């Protein structure tokens, strides 16, 4: 067996399919995207090389900067609101044990198995100013008039609520898995030493969860930057580009406005921001660990 796996031809045969799939399905589209970002390609006909013109236009495009700001705002919302709550819920679930633990774990994960289209239209009805659930509840408490939560000024916050709710289950499940890997003996030792739940969480759970937190935070930033489907179906970037995100703006430019080259230049910027974010987050966690 050792002789078999030391044969370079056999090794090459085994890894060749994976390399081919990577090159065709991932590497080639990235290279093409970078190339088209330097052209005025509309998706039809010939592509004309125009150099950095698309990137110059991006620098002066106010909608692009709005989309980038909204994506970063969403990332901050994920990190500062969704993830602390998800971690606390994961810790509480671990304490429940028994059937209740499994039941609540399923309940929190349900939004993640529902179709994105269903989620978007469900919340559209909830936010509807005429007959939505929120309007009905407010009317029951004596509120008169209409409350358009998807209107100017409040739309971005309403979208943030939907996205935090929709993605909560994944974050919670990852933290829950991380909590389950902590040796219970450490909690028993802390309990014998007289540590309360707050001290146990801050001195044992949180430090040991750093690798899990790093993965979850990195995924949250990337998820915020590539957020598209839910927002597109919920608000289509409106009102007035108030809820435009990088991925939805890319789609709008490439496939609605037939500016395929311009859309690809946005995707290149998107990839660069994702790489920079990942490197920065890794450095931050390394410094904390040190």
CATH number, domain of 270, equals: 1.10.3720.10
Give the separation between CA 76 and CA 69, rounded to whole angstroms: 11
**Structural domain contains residue 25:** no
Phi/psi-derived region of residue 2, left when phi > 0, alpha when psi is between -120 and 50, beta in every other case: alpha
- Residue at 41 is within a domain: no
Categorize the per-residue pLDDT at 157 as very low, low, confident or very high, splitting at 50, 70 and 90. very high
User: If phi over 0 gives left and psi between -120 and 50 gives alpha, with beta otherwise, what is residue 153?
Assistant: left
Rounded distance between C-alpha atoms, residue 51 and residue 38, angstroms: 5
Band of residue 287 on the pLDDT scale cut at 50, 70, 90 = low
Residue 9 domain flag: no
Asked if the structure places residue 52 within a domain, the reply is: no
Question: Cα separations (Å) of 242 from 64, 71, 120?
Answer: 11, 11, 17
- Quick: pLDDT tens for 103-148: 888 888 888 888 888 999 999 999 988 888 898 888 888 887 778 8
Domain tally, the chain: 1
How far apart, in Å, are the Cα atoms of 202 and each of 190, 198, 205, 216, 250? 12, 6, 6, 18, 41
pLDDT tens digit string along 68-98?
Answer: 999 999 999 999 999 999 999 998 888 887 7
Quote the domain boundaries for residue 249.
63-289
Q: Is residue 39 part of a domain?
A: no
Average confidence score pLDDT of the chain: 88
Nearest to 167 by CA among 199, 119, 124: 119
Interval 41-72: pLDDT, tens: 988 888 899 999 999 999 999 999 999 999 99
Which of 234-267 are b and which e, b meaning 16 or more Cβ less than 10 Å from the residue's Cβ?
Answer: bbebeeebbbbbbbbbbbbbbeeeebbbbbbbbb
């Amino acid at each position: 067996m050792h002789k078999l796996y030391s044969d370079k031809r056999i090794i090459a045969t085994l890894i060749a399919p994976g390399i081919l799939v990577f090159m065709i399905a991932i590497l080639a589209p990235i290279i093409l995207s970078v190339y088209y970002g330097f052209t005025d390609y509309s998706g039809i006909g010939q592509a004309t090389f125009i150099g950095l013109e698309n990137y110059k236009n991006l620098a002066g495009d106010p909608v692009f900067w709005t989309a980038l700001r909204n994506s970063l705002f969403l990332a901050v919302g994920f990190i500062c609101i969704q993830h602390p709550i998800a971690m606390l819920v994961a810790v509480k679930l671990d304490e429940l044990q028994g059937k209740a633990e499994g039941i609540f774990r399923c309940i929190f994960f349900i939004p993640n198995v529902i179709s994105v289209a269903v989620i978007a239209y469900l919340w559209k009805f909830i936010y509807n100013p005429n007959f939505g659930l929120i309007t009905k509840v407010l009317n029951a408490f004596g509120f008169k008039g209409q409350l358009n939560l998807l209107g100017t000024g409040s739309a971005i916050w309403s979208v943030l609520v939907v996205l935090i709710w929709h993605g909560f289950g994944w974050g919670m499940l990852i933290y829950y898995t991380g909590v389950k890997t902590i040796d219970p003996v450490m909690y028993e030792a802390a309990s014998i030493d007289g540590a309360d739940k707050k001290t146990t969480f801050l001195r044992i759970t949180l430090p040991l969860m750093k690798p899990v937190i790093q993965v979850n935070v990195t995924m949250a930033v990337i998820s915020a930057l590539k957020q598209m489907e839910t927002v597109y179906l919920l608000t289509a970037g409106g009102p007035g580009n108030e809820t435009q995100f990088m991925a939805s703006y890319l789609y709008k430019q490439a496939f609605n406005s037939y500016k395929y080259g311009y859309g690809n230049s946005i995707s290149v910027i998107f990839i660069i921001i994702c790489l920079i974010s990942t490197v920065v987050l890794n450095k931050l966690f390394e410094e904390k660990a040190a």
